[in-house]
Structure 1
């Protein structure tokens, strides 16, 4: 039996094999391992936990082993006073018995789930007519990156400290690596939509992240045009697939282009108190 390149099982397997663990943390300042876990730290006081499996040394995960991993990972960050918040990234298709209860009982709070969307880049690389006065372009200047991040923070409702941390992370990566692109749509010089493109080295994938559009500019094709520009750039990097953790604003746009929801992802966040 042959499989289609849009078969959710095929795409999910490629996602798990190519896009998890160290491939997720190219912007990290430090990366440590704790059994199956990848523990990363970032500028701005942020920690991040990810993994491909919660099995330990070939033994399937159990509620007890998962609870121990949560305790040990949290202790790792609690011993780092510069870290004031930690995200544990979960996926809906993982074998993770008792993970929700273990995280919540240790102070992690779940955010809204997002859809893991995957499809071929060519499906997005289409011509989109923009409203008059709107243009899409790539930005690299530090002031433009700050303006872009401020607009995204306005859309997502980020707190000032979180927004500053994100700016520091993005600028650090732009200064030290050449594997991320920042794209914006402008209306008469004002940034109204924005997003990143991150080609993943050694894989068939490029990720599109941070997609956001000001409310007054939604439903006009602007985000589709921004996504098309990023998809064309991804193809220029030799990438076949695009992946995105999508909110309910962007998921329908990708689905209409032929993208497939392969799973869900829910971030759980711990914040240092006192």
Structure 2
């Protein structure tokens, strides 16, 4: 039976958009009214329900408290706002408080069992599951080169998450000649019945050759074998067409609003 779009959106709101139940080592979850913030990572995060239940001046104060909490720590913070969130004036309030919107991403859901296909890799490319810090640093270096910014924090995040939850964190590389040409990871939440697919960045000269699709297929098979029903992706404009062709369905969009301490 196929889930309706409304059912998938309700599932996403209920199970997938909140703060992680178990934060990374060194990170702390703090509840502030309707929101939960994560502190102690490379960047803070603010997670909200679909409707925060506050409006007007009360919403302004809530937003300001999150900004001021991270200002005290000298850290940047990302507030993840969705197209269907209430109240609709939230983006305006975030911008007024100094949060800057980033690139919006499409939230897509799909059933893992329907995404299991045989990966078709170019000749000479092998897929590896990696767990060590050395490989995580190689992934971060590849990502940094492609995106033109220092993403060294990614190595620490992947290393810590893999060490803390080795069964629920899957990091894959596609390599040829000792070079990483694509990397992707999956964060499983077996009890909740879903897994988040992340990454998938491919070096420019290897794009369009099936690497992204192959890593989706490998992760889908691993998730299905674990009894995970749903896969969730926050897709850029480049990956959304690939995912929709595979059968993923768009349920909403998410825009990251980032506040950065002055002088950072």
Calculate the TM-score normalised by the size of structure 2.
0.93
* Structure 1 residue 268, shift from structure 2 partner: 0.7
Query: What SS does structure 2 have at the residue aligned with 1:268?
Result: strand
Contact 2:139/2:155 (<8 A) preserved = no
Which residue pairs with 1:50 in the alignment?
A: 47
8 Å contact kept, 1:43–1:168: no
Deviates more, 1:256-265 or 1:68-77: 68-77
- Aligned to 2:73, the other structure's residue is in SS state coil
| Partners of 1:66 and 1:98 within 8 A in 2 | no
Residue of structure 1 in register with 2:87 after alignment: 96
SS in 2 for 1:21: coil
Deviates more, 1:164-173 or 1:220-229: 164-173
Cα-to-partner distance string for 1:52-87 (whole Å, 9 max, x where unaligned): 1343xxxx4323332121011112212223x2x110
Q: Which runs of 4+ in 1 moved over 4 A?
A: none
Partner of 1:172: 160
What's the secondary structure of 1:40's corresponding residue?
A: strand
* Residue of structure 1 in register with 2:28 after alignment: 30
TM-score after normalising by structure 1: 0.90
Partner of 2:67: 74
Residue of structure 1 equivalent to 2:4: 7
Q: 1:21 aligns with which of 8, 18, 21?
A: 18
**Residues in 1 aligned to 2:199 and 2:162: alpha-carbon distance in whole angstroms:** 16
Conserved in 1, the CA contact under 8 Å of 2:132 and 2:159?
Answer: no
Residues 148-197 of structure 1: CA deviation (Å, up to 9, x unaligned): 1221222333x32xx12222222222222222110111122211011111
2 CA distance for matches of 1:98 and 1:197? 33
Shift of residue 95, structure 1, vs aligned partner = 1.1
**Equivalent residue for 1:61?**
54
Whether the 8 Å contact between 2:107 and 2:235 is mirrored in structure 1 is yes
Alpha-carbon RMSD: 1.7
**Residue 265 of structure 1 aligns with which residue?**
254
Match among 104, 129, 133 for residue 142 of structure 1: 133
Q: Is the 8 A contact 1:119 1:242 kept in 2?
A: yes
Q: Distance in 2 between matches of 1:173 and 1:156?
A: 22
- 1:200 CA drift (Å): 1.5
Q: Using the alignment, how far apart are the partners of 1:68 and 1:18 within structure 2?
A: 27
Partner of 1:220: 209
CA distance in 2, matches of 1:116, 1:208: 11
SS in 1 for 2:118: coil
Report if aligned partners of 2:28, 2:40 keep a CA contact under 8 Å in 1.
Answer: yes
Pick closer, same or farther for the CA change 1:6–1:254 going to 2, 3 Å.
farther
Matches of 1:105 and 1:27, distance apart in 2:
31
* Counterpart Cα distance in 1 of 2:192 and 2:77: 27
Can you give the 5+ residue segments of structure 1 that lack an aligned partner in the other structure? none
| CA positional deviation for 1:24 | 7.1
Instruction: Please give the alpha-carbon distance, in whole angstroms, between the structure 1 residues aligned to 2:24 and 2:256.
Output: 18
